[in-house]
A and B are shown apart, each in its own frame.
Chain A
């Protein structure tokens, strides 16, 4: 069968997302120009680049969050496990967003209890068979996000009562609760202090064992510390993609070298 033949190829087996010739416009502004990128399974892929270069737009294209922006036009293909989420009959966008979860720049818990925040996703998709099962999903998700020990005694208190770092981990737990395959992180640490940032970074390194992770980061040191692959964006184009060590050690492109050495950005 087709899937089997695909699995025999080692390249495609380790490949989770393939973006080909992606072009995105906001009205007349051409935000992403002909971007192509292969994202490997169980890897952390970092998207770096100066602000306004289209990293976030690119990331949001991976689970069609750009659909909510009125004048956004997307052309090209984004294949996830070989299925083009833009062009084929893959019309159930809600299921797509379930399997490609997203964590945002600013911690954005719902104005509800900690428990309700995590339980919301499974409840939406009716993933639980009973209340006990739901409790278990919530517990597992919080454990995966390294938050369980801190909140297990106050699951019913308001999510806003948590610290910023805890809120962000709660958002990660909420994303993990719907059992995604890919987790997209949009500058997850930009609003956090160094200690919380470290906690999240450790968490990302753990998560990569079971999930494919794509993260946008403004912090180059962070990309260097935790990512396996790095893609450098400049003015809407992917200038260079490669192993993180190579991008930071010996980039091919002059502009990449200038950026990672801190000459601009």
Chain B
């Protein structure tokens, strides 16, 4: 009976093979998921501290000649008749840069950023405080004079030698300039190149066309540091552009993104059916008109999606920026594309390299932010594709 044969379950060797393959795939997926969860959990656990900041409330009774002296005097008041060592310990409870950010002109209560050692003690990461310091800190905590708040300065400050006041703003601005320039540079050239290759070649099987095609496909696989060397040799050495500037970084990342954009754009142009070109040409449109009015608009969702993915790759790129000197230590955010700048991944690299423990949580937090940006960009690309993709009939 044929029908009952079909109804029978798969048995024997076939079943074993099929099941074991199924389980192999299943465990691969599970393993990936577990690794991802561990990765994000570790980053989150390590980095979450950077989003809060320990602050100290200081009562200034008498204003001294400088803010630094006022703060120091206010700190000394916490202990009755402190000796030299205790005084030193008290001074070191607040960040060494406190006086440069707060201008003390009258008596009152001031909220200061705590020293990284206090910060780490409060967050329970490590304890490097002296006994007298620890005693005072514990009292201040129970008095509510030392507390943790949302760390706005992490978003608005630039890099610093002191981890407690270091922030990502400078790196964010650098990333913004660099990627903006890369986009302005690579998008028109990439789209132009792809459009020429797909729509206008005189002969598709000429050696020049093949040469271009091979080049573009291979350039997409070139290690990114090679682009850094290219940027160093061409833009800095040959054209004499300033070192460490986002201008050079933008051009270098632009070249890096170019093949990705060209390939994505060509794929998008190929999905536009020939019938659209026929229809437009049949109405008497020139090749250029057909391309500008019909083919490119129809391919635009694909082009933009591909560009976003290319740009997302460039945002995460650090190696080429190291080559062109964008590892600068940036205390203030760059104000023009010619200023020395750094970018988010390079900032992560710099912080990861710092010996101070306080930078460890900053590193994890910056990685989280970078990942958030990349995930957002990829989601945007997916959304654009779903929303504007043309379903050809």
The verdict on B285 contacting chain A, using a C-beta distance below 8 Å, is: yes
The verdict on A264 contacting chain B, using a C-beta distance below 8 Å, is: no
Segment at the interface with B among A43-51, A95-103, A132-140, A145-153: A95-103
Segment at the interface with B among A4-12, A17-25, A62-70, A236-244: A62-70
Q: What is the CA–CA distance of A171 and B391 in the complex, to the nearest angstrom?
A: 18
The verdict on A257 contacting chain B, using a C-beta distance below 8 Å, is: no
The verdict on A76 contacting chain B, using a C-beta distance below 8 Å, is: no
The verdict on B298 contacting chain A, using a C-beta distance below 8 Å, is: yes
Encode contact with A along B366-393: 1 for CB under 8 Å, 0 otherwise: 0000000000000000000000001111
Q: A157 to chain B: closest CB distance in Å?
A: 15
Residues B280 and A120 in contact, CB atoms below 8 Å apart: yes
Residues facing B in A96-126 (CB within 8 A) are: 96-98, 101-102, 104, 106, 108-111, 120-121, 124-125
Q: A71 to chain B: closest CB distance in Å?
A: 9
Residues B279 and A108 in contact, CB atoms below 8 Å apart: yes
Segment at the interface with A among B64-72, B82-90, B229-237, B270-278: B270-278
Residues facing A in B289-303 (CB within 8 A) are: 289, 293-294, 298
Q: What is the CA–CA distance of A68 and B280 in the complex, to the nearest angstrom?
A: 12
Which residues of chain B come closer than 8 Å to A125, judged between CB atoms? Answer: 284
The verdict on A178 contacting chain B, using a C-beta distance below 8 Å, is: yes
Which residues of chain B come closer than 8 Å to A95, judged between CB atoms? Answer: 284
The verdict on A198 contacting chain B, using a C-beta distance below 8 Å, is: no
Which residues of chain A come closer than 8 Å to B204, judged between CB atoms? Answer: 70
Q: B291 to chain A: closest CB distance in Å?
A: 13
Residues A121 and B391 in contact, CB atoms below 8 Å apart: no
Which residues of chain B come closer than 8 Å to A106, judged between CB atoms? Answer: 275
Residues B275 and A174 in contact, CB atoms below 8 Å apart: no
The verdict on B283 contacting chain A, using a C-beta distance below 8 Å, is: yes
Q: B126 to chain A: closest CB distance in Å?
A: 62
Residues A110 and B280 in contact, CB atoms below 8 Å apart: yes
Residues A174 and B281 in contact, CB atoms below 8 Å apart: no
Q: B100 to chain A: closest CB distance in Å?
A: 60
Residues B294 and A110 in contact, CB atoms below 8 Å apart: yes
Instruction: Tally inter-chain residue pairs, CB-CB below 8 A.
Output: 64
Contact of B283 among A68, A160, A175 (CB under 8 A): A175
Which residues of chain B come closer than 8 Å to A94, judged between CB atoms? Answer: 284-286
Residues B284 and A97 in contact, CB atoms below 8 Å apart: yes
Q: B292 to chain A: closest CB distance in Å?
A: 11
Contact of B278 among A70, A108, A120, A174 (CB under 8 A): A108
Which residues of chain B come closer than 8 Å to A70, judged between CB atoms? Answer: 203-204
Residues B284 and A121 in contact, CB atoms below 8 Å apart: yes
Q: What is the CA–CA distance of A102 and B281 in the complex, to the nearest angstrom?
A: 9
Q: A104 to chain B: closest CB distance in Å?
A: 6
Which residues of chain B come closer than 8 Å to A65, judged between CB atoms? Answer: 278, 281-282
Which residues of chain A come closer than 8 Å to B277, judged between CB atoms? Answer: 68
Contact of B273 among A63, A101, A108 (CB under 8 A): A108
Asked, given contacts A70-B203, A70-B204, A106-B275, whether A63 binds B390 with beta carbons under 8 Å apart, the answer is: no
Q: What is the CA–CA distance of A95 and B281 in the complex, to the nearest angstrom?
A: 11
Residues B393 and A174 in contact, CB atoms below 8 Å apart: no
Which residues of chain A come closer than 8 Å to B281, judged between CB atoms? Answer: 65, 68, 97
Which residues of chain A come closer than 8 Å to B275, judged between CB atoms? Answer: 104, 106, 108
Contact of B279 among A63, A68, A98, A174 (CB under 8 A): A174
Closest B residue to A160 by beta carbon equals B393
Residues facing B in A219-239 (CB within 8 A) are: none
Contact of B282 among A109, A111, A160, A175 (CB under 8 A): A175
Which residues of chain B come closer than 8 Å to A124, judged between CB atoms? Answer: 283-285, 289, 293
Residues B282 and A101 in contact, CB atoms below 8 Å apart: yes
A-B residue pairs in contact (CB < 8 Å), sample of 7: A70-B204, A94-B285, A102-B282, A110-B276, A111-B392, A120-B283, A124-B289
Q: Residues on B close to A: CB < 8 A?
A: 203-204, 273, 275-286, 289, 293-294, 298, 390-393
Apart from the given pairs A111-B276, A124-B293, A160-B393, 20 other A-B contacts in the complex at a CB distance below 8 Å: A70-B203, A95-B284, A96-B284, A97-B281, A97-B284, A98-B284, A101-B282, A104-B278, A104-B282, A108-B278, A110-B276, A110-B298, A111-B390, A120-B283, A121-B284, A124-B285, A124-B289, A125-B284, A171-B279, A178-B283
